[in-house]
Amino acid sequence: MPTIAETLADYAASLRTAPISAHVRHHASRVVIDWFACLLPGSLLPPATSLIEGLADELGHGNAIVYGPLAAAPIRTAALINGTASHIIEFDDIFRDAVYHPGCPTISAALAVAQSRNLSGDALVRAIIAGYEVSTRIGVAVQPSHYDFWHTTGTIGTFGAAAAAAVALGLDATQTAHALANAATMAAALQQAFRSDAHSKPLHAGHAAEAGALAALGASRGMTGALDVLEGEAGFGAAMSKAANWSRATADLGTRFNITQMTVKNHGCCGHAFAAIDAALALHKQHGFSVDQIERIRIGGYRATVDVTGRNQVSTAFEGRFSTPFTVATALVHGSVRLAAFEPDRLADPVVQALTKKTEVVLDAQCTADFPGRRSARMDITLKDGTVLSRYQATRKGDPDDPLTDAELAAKFRELATPAIGAEAEPLLADLLRLDQLQSVRFRPRMLAQAAE
């Protein structure tokens, strides 16, 4: 009987030539558009800039591209730096059921291989779909308990990168299984690493991209792994989940495509705050109250809302992105939570800071029961005259049941990419919209920071 890794590898390898519908291809194009929207501004910020400087001797040779300096690089270096950069501004895609950002590790590894091997857009699309399908399924199998201690993007993302790189490298099913097996033993990323102001969280995504690419490159030259490493008694599931359900990893394999069910972020912060932000904006639109009328705000959420984003003391951009009270206050004061929300003047805004301190986040039984299949919030805004405005937000704008339209995604791309690459944003978007028709994926938009030197 084949192991889970072998079953998933057989499927991934088949995607190199299998028919793929226009609908699935379209969603693959959407995730790449979203990834570039996050990558380009992130490439100009630490810790991406720290890695670019620290790994300078690895740049200037190889056939993959590191954005920011727009430098040539080997596959692993490009995967590491681009994977890190694309997670920095916290605007990247989510697969809700696995509590997982698949784009950063998966696309970073796939694109690095595709550029290095001068592959077509069709080959890149197939690799990305394989990475999304394999990793999201492994993620669902080990959740929700995996998220108690592990950052899924850094752990599960390693499988996404390995599967995508393996397909891009043209590995057969056996080689792909060994790539997945070795990815498992390199998968690590701790929750504690992003419960304080540190650069570890985006580095998790970059490490996953690099480790997955390494596993695939090694498998292409005969490196083997323990094929029962997922379900084995001392394997990934046993070590990193309370009750892994491996039937979920293979259910409807080949008939259901998880890449069509991505959450595209509509706010520039941690996704655990989204439902509360949406609730606040909906209540404000419905009732038209002013911020100075608010006495206090009480937000009910699930465990991660409290543990990861419950802080109501904010002084840095990192703390702001991981604070439901701050992002809700920002939305009520300024009308949205975009990149400007975390600039120094906005972080210090006395009105936002005062409202942040009036906001508490608590566990809610319904929201807890909903997680992870639904990300909800319950909000009570008490006004100074005693009026209580309440809303249960059952989902988030951008989730599969309330998705961003193609036009909204394009607007997000322009908003985030244009400050980084100026007029080159439009031709890049045009290329990404027809991604699977391109003969080359060596996208080289010149960064404004470089152009200004």
d(CA 204, CA 268): 19
Q: What are phi and psi of 72, to 5 degrees?
A: -70, 150
Contact indicator for 266, 398 with CB cutoff of 8 Å: yes
Geometric angle at alpha carbon 386, from 381 and 391, rounded to 5°: 30
Residues in the chain predicted with pLDDT less than 50, given as ranges, are 451-453
CA angle (413 as vertex; 399, 89 as ends), nearest 5: 75
Q: b vs e for 20-54, b when ≥16 Cβ sit within 10 Å of the residue's Cβ?
A: beeebbbbbbbbbbbbbbbbbbbbbbebbbebbee
231 phi/psi in degrees, rounded to 5: -95, -5
Cα 299–chain centre separation: 24
Contact residues for 61 (Cβ-Cβ < 8 A; gap 6+): 72, 73, 74
Rounded CA separation 204/223 (Å): 24
- Summarised one tens digit per residue, pLDDT across range 42-95 is 999 999 999 999 999 999 999 999 999 999 999 999 999 999 999 999 999 999
pLDDT at 450: 53
Q: What is the largest CA-CA distance in the chain?
A: 72
Q: Is 402 helix (H, G, I), strand (E, B) or coil?
A: coil
Structural element, H or E, at residue 328: helix 324-334
Cα gap 205→80, rounded to integer Å:
8
* pTM greater than 0.85: yes
Q: Per-residue pLDDT tens for 398-440?
A: 999 999 999 999 999 999 999 999 999 999 999 999 999 999 9
Query: For residue 452, what pLDDT is reported?
Result: 42
Domains of the chain are 4-266+432-437 (1.10.4100.10), 271-393 (3.30.1330.120)
Euclidean distance between CA atoms 82 and 7, whole angstroms? 29
